[in-house]
Amino acid sequence: MLGDGYNRVASLDARFKLTDNWITQAQLVGTDSEPTLGGKSTNGYQRNIQVNYTGRTVNSHSHFVETTDHFCTDLGFQNRFFKPDTSGIHNSVDLNFYPEGSSLNRWSTGFFDVYLNDNDGTRIYHQFGPNLNFNWNTTGIGFSFTDYAEILRPQDFPGIITNTRYDYETYQVNIFDNTLQTATFRASYREGRALNLVPPVGTLPYIADTSRIDLSFLWRPLDQLSINNTYFLTELENRGGGAKVFTNEIFRSNWNYQFTKELSLRFIAQYDETEAGPATRLQDDENLNFDVLLRYVINPWSAFYIGYNSNLSNFDIVEYEGERELIVANDLRQDGDQFFVKFSYLFQR
């Protein structure tokens, strides 16, 4: 229940292994919702079908998704490929080559391509990105370019009176190194342009400069223990070194201890901070989250879980003239605790 309303979700999915190389997956999701303050209930559905091929030289992925206008998952997350009133397909193809008599173990090239329409057939998004990668014994480097075309409609953003197209692109380089047997380091840097969808109040979206740094360090000090630390820094600013839109930093530390083959304990701590600039309607945001999960695996399809989650943020709820309001606080306040138990079991004939 969500206040005086509700949001119900039901899903049916299947996976079929057609051959050793071909696998297909299908899912049908239905939703039934009523607004929090009451009103007319709505129904929606989403269907998606994947076809994947895995081989030594060729790997491919094709994914068709259709989502109706009133599809709603209030407690879930939907990226741009799965949002309501859209249908489309995204594909990826990668070709692998293994040169002989060379220190280079493998090099590969491929692309990722997306077409997305609304359910009236109007094109609202296109993405195309080729890539090139080189892998040696313990080191790898990759390069990619992505071109975007995004169309915002009047219903997508207040103030837009006709379908408006935005073109932008990004460049990215990735590296990894696992020379040390107990550690793996990964890094990527992306730069280019992006669409500012959170401009100041009263202004329309526009193209801005963007950059992103991703760092990851996986350390295995013991056979049973793995520690994966990641850091993300994303910046968006007006073109030509203009006013800052926002800076977002995320640090995550993931600890996993394997007591036995069946029993494991996982701990995740994540700190997230957003510093808003003058070229956005966003506010400064700070969040700290802790997650603990104990898992006992009976077989690959059956497991028992006990978990706890705690969250702190720089927001607080205050009483003002008989109403409750959400305000920005100067420090972190605990805003959620969750304890859960889950058991899943696969019955086999």
Q: pTM for this structure?
A: 0.82
Q: Pick the residue with more confidence: 72 or 347?
A: 72
Instruction: With beta carbons less than 8 A apart as the criterion, state whether 138 and 179 touch.
Output: yes
Mean pLDDT of the chain: 90
The 3-state DSSP class for residue 321 equals: coil
Instruction: With beta carbons less than 8 A apart as the criterion, state whether 86 and 70 touch.
Output: no
Residue 331 has pLDDT above 80, yes or no: no
pLDDT at residue 38, as a whole number: 66
Tell me which fold the domain 71-344 belongs to: Maltoporin; Chain A (2.40.170)
Instruction: With beta carbons less than 8 A apart as the criterion, state whether 336 and 310 touch.
Output: yes
Q: Pick the residue with more confidence: 102 or 240?
A: 102
Burial of 24 (0-12, 13-18, 19+ CB in 10 A): middle
pLDDT at residue 251, as a whole number: 97
Number of Cβ atoms within 10 Å of the Cβ of 284: 11
CA angle 74–80–86, rounded 5-degree value: 90
Number of Cβ atoms within 10 Å of the Cβ of 31: 22
Total residue count of the chain as it appears in this document: 349
What distance in Å separates the CA atoms of residue 82 and residue 84, rounded to the nearest whole number? 7
Residues 6+ apart with CB under 8 A from 195: 148, 150, 166, 168, 205, 206, 207, 208
What distance in Å separates the CA atoms of residue 83 and residue 208, rounded to the nearest whole number? 23
Q: Model confidence over 10-50: pLDDT tens digits?
A: 989 999 999 999 999 999 999 988 877 667 888 989 999 99
Q: Model confidence over 265-322: pLDDT tens digits?
A: 999 999 999 999 999 998 888 999 999 999 999 887 789 999 999 988 876 655 555 5
How large is the average pLDDT for residues 319-338?
Answer: 67
Q: Model confidence over 131-184: pLDDT tens digits?
A: 999 999 999 999 999 999 999 989 889 999 999 999 999 999 999 999 998 999
| Residue 191, CA distances (Å) to 169, 208, 236 in order | 9, 11, 10
Instruction: With beta carbons less than 8 A apart as the criterion, state whether 148 and 168 touch.
Output: yes
Residues 6+ apart with CB under 8 A from 68: 44, 45, 46, 84, 85, 119
Type of residue numbered 53: Y
What distance in Å separates the CA atoms of residue 231 and residue 246, rounded to the nearest whole number? 17
Instruction: With beta carbons less than 8 A apart as the criterion, state whether 128 and 145 touch.
Output: no
Calculate the dihedral angle through the C-alpha atoms of 305, 292, 250, 149, rounding to the nearest 10 degrees: 10
pLDDT at residue 349, as a whole number: 59
Q: Model confidence over 73-86: pLDDT tens digits?
A: 877 767 766 788 88
Residue 241 DSSP label: T
pLDDT at residue 1, as a whole number: 46
